[in-house]
């Protein structure tokens, strides 16, 4: 049945019956009513369901009532929601399960959604039930405050704010587990300035959280499909956790690191920040004189992301957890990347200088594990002619690892890399590259440790590509390593980059062929030979079919 008088007054009702043979064993009722009395607007929705089976019967009653007084700047209103679902046994009428069972009262105040700036606040009272010993009992009660603000300053600047506070009382718990307070906030801002020369984007999230203590194990997988390798450093045949390394050589990728969750949590304050910044001057400035012509050659890209979980309850530390004592940090993932370009889009000559820094700290069952990488990179390229290109990189870097559990894995390595390369492209389909490289690496975690490595490398590579049908690439590397220290240690593995002191050879061939529509063949061969060691060969074949 459907009854409609005008756009603001509408009644809709439907009934669906389910039959088994001649008997009705289920039904569904749908009811919807909208009514306007001047500025007063009401809406009522209902859904009633009953279903009887041989062993179980289920009921689902859902109601929603909303009344509001409409105006342009302030819309006060009240909303009531009820969702009652229960699955009962046909034999003893005990409640077996429920998908949802709650009632909620909401009082709100907002403005019209069609305005350029929208805002609102609401207050919720909610009660939830759970089946306990065959009966539906009150499980928790909560009070929640929500506030939001959204505005478009202009076509290029948008701001959105959201804040939530919830106080949850667990009626069937006692002690510190009975009450749970949660504070959440979110800020999203997108803006551009000076005719879109400067563009930035900020996402900020603040909330209560819990950090899970974890264990990890290593599981052997088919060669080439893993991420780690095992090296028996002490020769006892036992796979100790400190003998697993992140694999560099393809033939050693035969273990996968699996994190195993525990039932131990630590309360924490979680802050997530993501910020992106881009600076690009108009290309038209390149045709002008003076300072505009000079700065038109420069551009910048910066990205910062932070995910921090701390126990410091200081408000300032929670809002910006960048200077919190390490003892109060339960988890951390931070990444900073910034690059200043000169002639970024110029095909003849270009240069850039950038910094990349990554920090990670995770909570394990018996302590913490921390990793940090930092690189300052200087790079320039120069197309000598249509077929020759010179590329030079200089990198000043730092690698560190600190573990409360696996102390032998602790190191801090400072390294510098100088890497010039020359590419020759006689035809559009062929490119040949020669590269020289020297790395100087030193462990500075302990004074007088004397662990150093100098890696001198010569690399020749070739690539042949033909119009998305055939791609053939190959590479050959000769690496000579001068090493001082103990080879079979985590520090030695990092200094040697999974190779051996002395002369090392690595080579590879990759062939990718399109066999037909949606069918592709990939062949890969890798080999390596280190001083005083037998050559290692690894071949893989993969066929992909796209439907």
Does 307 have pLDDT greater than 90? yes
Q: What was the pLDDT predicted at 352? A: 96
Q: What was the pLDDT predicted at 2? A: 40
Q: What was the pLDDT predicted at 92? A: 84
Neighbouring C-alpha atoms within 13 Å toward the C-beta of 528: 15
**The dihedral sign for the CA sequence 228, 263, 306, 413:** negative
What tens digit of pLDDT does each residue of 185-237 get?
A: 999 999 998 888 999 999 999 988 877 777 778 888 888 788 888 888 777 88
Does 23 have pLDDT greater than 50? no
| Residue 7's pLDDT band (cuts 50, 70, 90) | very low
187 forms beta bridges with 161, 204
The alpha carbons of the chain give a radius of gyration, in whole angstroms, of 32
- In three-state form (DSSP H/G/I as H, E/B as E, the rest C), the secondary structure along 272-318 is EEEEEEEEECCHHHHHCCCHHHHHCCEEEEEEEEEEEEECCCCHHHH
Is the separation of the CB atoms in 469 and 446 below 8 Å? no
Q: How far is CA 329 from the centre of its chain?
A: 19
What tens digit of pLDDT does each residue of 107-126 get?
A: 999 998 888 899 999 999 99
Q: What was the pLDDT predicted at 240? A: 80
Q: What was the pLDDT predicted at 76? A: 94
Does 263 have pLDDT greater than 80? no
CA gap 177, 170 in Å, rounded:
7
CA gap 332, 403 in Å, rounded:
14
Lowest mean pLDDT among 21-30, 134-143, 319-328, 480-489: 21-30
| Residue 176's pLDDT band (cuts 50, 70, 90) | low
| Residue 21's pLDDT band (cuts 50, 70, 90) | low
Domain ranges of the chain: 2-173, 194-383, 404-547
CA gap 357, 336 in Å, rounded:
5
pTM of the full structure? 0.77
Q: What was the pLDDT predicted at 3? A: 40
Residue with tokens 């009513």: 33
Residues 6+ away with beta carbon under 8 Å from 374: 355, 356, 357, 358, 397, 398
Is the separation of the CB atoms in 309 and 268 below 8 Å? yes
Name the nearest CA neighbour of 121 among 141, 149, 143: 149
Q: What is the DSSP string of 315-382?
A: HHHHH-TTS--GGGEEEEEEEEEEEEEESTT-SSEEEEEEEEEEEEEEEETTEEEEEEEEEEEEEEEE
């Amino acid at each position: 049945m459907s009854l409609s008088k005008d756009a603001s007054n509408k009644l809709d009702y439907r009934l669906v019956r389910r039959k088994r043979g001649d008997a009705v064993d289920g039904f569904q009722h749908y009811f919807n009513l909208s009514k306007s009395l001047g500025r007063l607007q009401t809406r009522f929705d209902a859904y009633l369901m009953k279903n009887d089976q041989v062993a179980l019967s289920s009921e689902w009653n859902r109601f929603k009532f909303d009344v509001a007084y409409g105006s342009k700047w302030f819309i006060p209103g009240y909303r009531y929601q009820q969702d009652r679902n229960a699955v009962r046994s046909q034999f003893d009428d005990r409640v077996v399960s429920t998908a949802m069972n709650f009632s909620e009262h909401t009082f709100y105040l907002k403005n019209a959604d069609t305005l350029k700036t929208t805002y609102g606040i609401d207050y919720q009272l909610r009660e939830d039930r759970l089946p306990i010993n065959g009966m539906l009992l009150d499980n928790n009660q909560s009070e929640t405050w929500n506030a939001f603000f959204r505005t478009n300053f202009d076509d290029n600047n948008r701001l959105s704010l959201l804040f939530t506070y919830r106080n949850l009382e667990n009626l069937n718990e006692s002690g510190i587990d009975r009450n749970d307070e949660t504070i959440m906030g979110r800020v999203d801002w997108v803006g551009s300035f000076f005719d879109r020369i400067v563009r930035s984007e900020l996402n900020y999230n603040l909330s209560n959280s819990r950090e899970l203590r974890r264990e990890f194990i290593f599981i052997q997988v088919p060669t080439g499909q893993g991420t780690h390798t095992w090296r028996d450093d002490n020769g006892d045949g036992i796979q100790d956790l400190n003998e697993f390394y992140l694999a560099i050589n393809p033939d050693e990728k035969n273990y996968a690191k699996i994190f195993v969750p525990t039932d131990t949590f630590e309360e924490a304050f979680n802050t997530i920040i993501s910020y992106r910044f881009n600076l690009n001057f108009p290309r038209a400035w390149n045709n002008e004189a003076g300072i505009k012509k000079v700065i038109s050659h420069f551009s910048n890209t910066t990205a910062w992301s932070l995910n921090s979980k701390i126990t410091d309850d200081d408000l300032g530390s929670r809002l910006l957890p960048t200077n919190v004592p390490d003892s109060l940090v339960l988890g951390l993932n931070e990444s900073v990347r910034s690059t200043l370009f000169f002639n970024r889009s110029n095909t003849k000559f270009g240069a850039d200088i950038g910094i990349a820094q990554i920090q990670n700290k995770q909570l394990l069952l018996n302590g913490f594990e921390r990793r940090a990488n930092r690189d300052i990179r200087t790079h320039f390229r120069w197309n000598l002619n249509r077929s020759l290109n010179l590329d030079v990189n200089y990198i000043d870097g730092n690698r560190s690892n600190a573990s409360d559990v696996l102390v032998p894995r602790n190191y801090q390595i400072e390294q510098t890399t100088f890497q010039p390369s020359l590419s020759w492209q006689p035809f559009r389909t062929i490119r040949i590259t020669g590269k020289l490289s020297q790395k100087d690496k030193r462990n500075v975690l302990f004074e007088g440790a004397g662990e150093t490595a100098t890696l001198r490398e010569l690399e020749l590579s070739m690539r042949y590509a033909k119009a998305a049908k055939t791609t053939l690439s190959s590479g050959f590397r000769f690496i000579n390593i001068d090493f001082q220290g103990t080879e079979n240690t985590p520090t030695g593995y990092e200094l040697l980059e999974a190779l051996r002191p002395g002369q090392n050879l690595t080579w590879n061939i990759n062939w990718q062929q399109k066999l037909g529509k949606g069918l592709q063949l990939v062949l890969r061969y890798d080999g390596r030979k280190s001083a005083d060691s037998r050559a290692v060969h690894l071949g893989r074949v993969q066929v992909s079919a796209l439907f």
